[in-house]
Amino acid sequence: MSQSATSPNAPQGVGVVVIAYNDAELVGAAVRSALAQGPAVSEVVAVDDCSSDGTAAVLDQLATTEPRLRVVRRTENSGGCGTPRNDGIAAATAPYVMFLDSDDVLPDGAVPALLAAAEEHGTEVTVGRAVRRELPAGRDVRWQPGLYREAAVYASPEDEPQLLHDTLCVNKLYRRDFLMGRQLRFPDGKFTYEDFVFTARVYAEAPRVAVVPELVYVWHVRRAAAQVSISLARTDVANWRARIAAHNEAVEAFTAAGRKELAAACRTKFVDYDLCLYLRELRVRDAAYRADWWRLTRDHLAGFHPAELAAAAAPARWLARVVLAADEPRDLDRLSQLAADPARLVPPYAGADAGPVWADDLTEVVLDGLDGLPAERLPVTVDATLLAGRRGVLKLRVHELYGRLGAAGEPTGADVEFVPRDGGESALTVTAPLRPTDGGWSGQVSVPLAGLAAAGGRGTQIWDLRIRLHSAAGPGGRIAPRAQASGLRRTAVPGSRYGVLLVQPYRTSSGSLAVRLAPGVQGAFGVVGGKLRRLARTARSKRR
């Protein structure tokens, strides 16, 4: 292992590079979370990208009491995240560096865990688990959970191409002499998804990689913020265009380095993840967005080798083939639901005799591999209607899927879990017995809505539904039921516990059924008032 090019008096350990622009309210918490890592962090380099608010003053004040903090000030704004990170790499002197955004935090023990693994295994790159924390609720969603279930060491990313699914730069520890010696930098200037390109450039150099299962990064998601992050700003088709451009740069990095297998894996990852992420939302975009998105996507996918598409998981590869086969947007509701997680393949089911296909007029899109999917990964569709009353009634209809459910043992019942949107375990499970009907099975079950509201505590609550079918063959995978329009009515339910309980079943962006409960008169007024405020904001934005 080569030695870091630092002087004998240079800090040892990790230099955390914090980048900030107009984030005076949050940057202090980010810097303090890095300093709180203890002696593993020998320096924090905070790069202020020419902020116009009080960010610089916050950093200067922290630096007066913390000798490990150094502030780098840019004299003009770079327009992106890559340039200030490059400045941080250049300014750091510690043997290792990692990156932290000003609106995120490092959890306790993150840097010691990464540093210990890097030194034990002599790795150039060490990666750990990250979560997306939805604020203000505080619900954590694991980022790429399959990669971080257990510790591992890879001689090269080619030994585990799934590493390419994690395009973040912030949950990784890098040997600084590796970055400097290979001249590995982020794209400069206003470049969206710069971490896609940087991660590809790093992995194209075939570093030794260690994986730790510990939580090392908390990525804060503020959907209600005045300026949302790049990953959430998907309402403009320019965001998709920028994502494709970044993906092309990533593929080119692997190709230029002679890493053909990683270039192919990068394209397959695009189908498995990026395509599905945007297809989930396509049905709610306007006609101009849809047309532009469809054209951009078809042009991009046309450059993929058939083997790269075939290597994608079912049903992601089916989605790609529909886009390639159709000249213009079509079947957007079906596509969005198949792209959801968990996936649903909704009727009609074409080509049953000759084999499953997407549609009678699109028979070239074959749903290959459906027969080989395990029961827990079948894209089963369950229609659900929640009728509110003193005791709610949930009606279910399970659609047979080309005979797969019946072949595995006919479903006899469905366990329905009500899971809090802000995280935690299910608070209620009810079981609906199922009976055969034309094309599937149906059933219904009572739902104690007042008891569910009591389990959720005070204030407005949102509950997601998850269904698990069971049969003689055993339980299947978790299914998100599809909301039916006939049950999407707000109802005020009288009751002795709250006086009134406002029940609002609704359809999520992916078409799933969820329910909003507002206990008490105050809660009911809060929901109505919130809707009025959203309508007012929409009206104001249209006037602008």
Instruction: Say if strands 435-437 and 440-447 run parallel, antiparallel, or are unpaired.
Output: antiparallel
The answer to whether 4 and 93 are in contact (CB under 8 A) is no
Does residue 183 register a pLDDT over 90?
yes
Predicted confidence at residue 487, as pLDDT, reads: 82
SS3 347: coil
Give the pLDDT confidence of 484-527 residue by residue, as tens digits: 988 899 999 987 566 889 999 999 888 899 999 999 865 554 44
Question: Do residues 59 and 27 lie in contact, with contact meaning Cβ atoms separated by under 8 Å?
Answer: yes
Helices (H), 378-425: 404-407
CA distances from 473 to 138, 255, 343, 405, 439 (A): 38, 47, 21, 10, 20
What's the pLDDT band for 227 if we cut at 50, 70, 90?
Answer: low
pLDDT at residue 531 in the model: 47
Q: Which residues are CB-neighbours of 142 under 8 A, at least 6 positions away?
A: 129, 130, 131, 148
Lowest average pLDDT, out of 70-74, 138-142, 190-194, 518-522, goes to 518-522
The per-residue pLDDT for 390 is 72
d(CA 461, CA 517): 5
**For the chain, what percent of residues have pLDDT higher than 90?**
77
Say what angle helices 287-301 and 316-325 make with each other, to 10 degrees. 100
Extract the tokens encoding 467.
Answer: 């269904």
3-state SS class at 275? helix
- Please, which pLDDT band fits residue 333 given cuts at 50, 70 and 90? very high
- Give mean pLDDT, residues 17-31: 97
Tokens coding 384: 């659900």
CB atoms within 10 A of CB 367: 23
Torsion angles phi and psi, residue 183, rounded to 5 = 55, 45
Q: What is the pLDDT of residue 223?
A: 66
Residue 189 CA to chain centroid, in angstroms? 25
Reported as a pLDDT band with limits 50, 70 and 90, residue 197 is very high
Residue 4 has pLDDT above 60, yes or no: no
Residues 6+ apart with CB under 8 A from 541: none
Distance of CA 179 to the CA centre of its chain: 28
- Which residue's entry shows tokens 């509201």? 453
pLDDT at 76: 96
Range name among 38-42, 468-472, 473-477 with the lowest pLDDT average: 473-477
Are 505 and 526 contacting, i.e. CB atoms less than 8 angstroms apart?
no
- Mean pLDDT over 192-211 rounds to 97
pLDDT number for residue 521 = 60
Query: For residue 39, is pLDDT > 60?
Result: yes
pLDDT at 6 over 60: no
Question: What are the pLDDT digits (tens) for 151-179?
Answer: 999 999 999 999 999 999 999 999 999 99
Contacts of 143 (CB under 8 A, 6+ apart): 129, 130, 131, 132, 166, 168, 171, 219
Cβ 433 vs Cβ 444: under 8 Å:
no
Mean pLDDT, residues 340-366: 91
Mean residue pLDDT across the chain: 90
Q: What pLDDT sits at residue 354?
A: 76
pLDDT tens for 51-92 read 999 999 999 999 999 999 999 999 999 999 999 999 999 999
- Residue 1 pLDDT more than 50? no
Tens-place pLDDT, residues 451-473: 999 898 878 999 999 999 998 77
**pLDDT for residue 532 is more than 60:** no
Question: HEC states along 222-265?
Answer: CCCCCCCCCCCCCCCHHHHHHHHHHHHHHHHHHHHCCCHHHHHH
Which stretch of 9-13, 48-52, 140-144 has the lowest confidence by average pLDDT?
9-13
- pLDDT for 231: 53
* DSSP 3-state of 29: helix
- Burial (0-12, 13-18, 19+ Cβ within 10 Å), 342: middle
DSSP per-residue string spanning 490-530: -EEEEETTTEEEEEEEEE-TTSBEEEEEEEHHHHHHHHHHH
* Residue 346 near residue 482 (C-beta atoms within 8 A): yes
Which residue in this structure is represented by tokens 């299962």?
213
pLDDT score for 225: 54
Give the pLDDT score at 229.
57
- My answer on whether omega of the bond before 420 falls inside 30° of 0, hence cis, is no
